[in-house]
Amino acid sequence: MPPYVPPGTVAADQRRQRYVTAGLIIAALILSYLPSGGQETIASALRSSVLRPFLGLQGVVAATRLRTLDVRVLQARLDSATASLVARSTLAEENDRLRALLDLGDRLEVPWIAGEVLRPGTQGSEGIFLLNLGTEDGVPPMAPVLTPEGLAGVVREVRDGSSIGMDWTNPDFRASAMSEDGAVYGFVETRRGLFREEDRLLLASTPYAVQLEAGTGIQTSGIGGVYPRGIPIGRVVEVAESQGGWNTSYWVEPYVVPGDMSQVVVMIGGLDSIPSGDGAPGGPAGATPGANGAGEPGDSTRATPVLDLSAMWPDDQRGTRADRRARGQLVADSLRRMERRIAALRDSLDQMRAVPDSSGGGP
């Protein structure tokens, strides 16, 4: 027997549901027309209150996933880092000796801090990621976020204990860029596709008279004061569009895949806190884009040195994660072949020692 329902209760519940639905629709419309600053304030309040337990749980899951990495992968990374440090130890000593002979100051180190990336995973939050770094870690707004492959994004908002950043798939992403040889300047931006998998990166506003070949590397130019110079972005795929006689745009294959981001480094202190010139890692003074976009010496009063990080990514270390793995596999195969040759040579030497001397002497 169904429970007794007083008359008018069902109608009252239906009216209440209609009012709630109408209120939510009106609130959604109001929020959609708010300026970006107001939307960020409301979103920050929700993340720090209602969504805080869920974000904390997501952080625990992400940390657990990182701890379950294959031990062999971690050992390979440690071996690579150790080999790199050993190889660079002599270079650092030689560099210090040369700087002392030239009466130059100590080379300044770029301040970085490592962090972990969390994805909100909610509708409409594509292109946004959370960092476990905040104001107490010295992270400023508009700080570049990097991975071993290159530029991953930039920090948009900093709070206590966490930060919000955007990657290259965000519609608001922009970065001044240039070819690796400095011949062509422009800027990269996102072009949205019908689906998120179809989002592409575009190098726009490049000189029409200078053409880029497929496979040309693209990196940050240092113009604008947000990103240092020399951070890898991607490589040219093909011409996207050409405005006759004015400029050309190119599709770019990004080196960084946002979905693969887990461990990143963030630049702290800002570019203003890192002086350029003697003892700084900045480039030469007075380098300004010429008429064809190339860097040409200019008046030092019109241009200032920029921080150049291109040395952090040698030519053989630039590319996607798959490219880096393929190169690492080639190096590992070469080392194994060399090990087999050394073992064969050692066996040959042992056999030669074991053969008695023809004159009757001992081995």
Confirm whether 188 is domain-assigned.
Answer: yes
Taking 80 as the threshold, does the pLDDT of residue 283 lie above it? no
In the numeric block, which tokens belong to residue 232? 């890898």
CB contact set of 31 (below 8 Å; sequence gap of 6+): 39, 42
Structural domains in the chain (count): 1
Confirm whether 39 is domain-assigned.
Answer: no
Q: What is the pLDDT of residue 127?
A: 86
| Distance from C-alpha of 227 to C-alpha of 283, rounded to nearest angstrom | 14
- pLDDT tens column, 298-340: 444 344 456 888 888 888 889 998 888 888 788 888 888 998 9
- pLDDT tens column, 239-262: 998 877 788 999 999 999 988 888
Stretch among 207-221, 224-238, 277-291 having the lowest mean pLDDT: 277-291
What stretches of the chain adopt beta strand conformation (E)?
A: 112-118, 128-131, 144-147, 150-159, 162-167, 174-179, 185-191, 200-207, 217-220, 232-243, 247-254, 263-267, 287-289, 295-297
Confirm whether 18 is domain-assigned.
Answer: no
Stretch among 5-9, 189-193, 271-275 having the lowest mean pLDDT: 271-275
Confirm whether 139 is domain-assigned.
Answer: yes
Burial class from Cβ neighbours inside 10 Å (0-12, 13-18, 19+) for residue 226 reads middle
Confirm whether 215 is domain-assigned.
Answer: yes
| Residue 110 lies in domain | 65-327
Confirm whether 11 is domain-assigned.
Answer: no
Q: What is the pLDDT of residue 108?
A: 52
Q: What is the pLDDT of residue 332?
A: 82
Taking 60 as the threshold, does the pLDDT of residue 44 lie above it? yes
CB contact set of 159 (below 8 Å; sequence gap of 6+): 44, 48, 134, 135
Percent of all residues in the chain with a pLDDT value above 90, rounded to a whole number: 25
| Distance from C-alpha of 312 to C-alpha of 148, rounded to nearest angstrom | 9
Confirm whether 339 is domain-assigned.
Answer: no
pLDDT range class, residue 289, cuts 50, 70, 90:
very low
Smallest Cα–Cα separation from 139: which of 117, 164, 118, 120?
164
Q: What are phi and psi of 273, to 5 degrees?
A: -85, -5
Taking 80 as the threshold, does the pLDDT of residue 50 lie above it? no
Taking 50 as the threshold, does the pLDDT of residue 238 lie above it? yes
pTM of the entire structure?
A: 0.65
Q: Measure Cα distances from 274 to 228, 265, 345 in Å.
A: 11, 17, 52
Taking 90 as the threshold, does the pLDDT of residue 10 lie above it? no
| Distance from C-alpha of 59 to C-alpha of 117, rounded to nearest angstrom | 9
Confirm whether 58 is domain-assigned.
Answer: no
Q: Which ranges constitute the DSSP H helices of 68-141?
A: 71-101
Q: What is the pLDDT of residue 285?
A: 37
How high does pLDDT run on average in the chain?
Answer: 78
Taking 80 as the threshold, does the pLDDT of residue 184 lie above it? yes
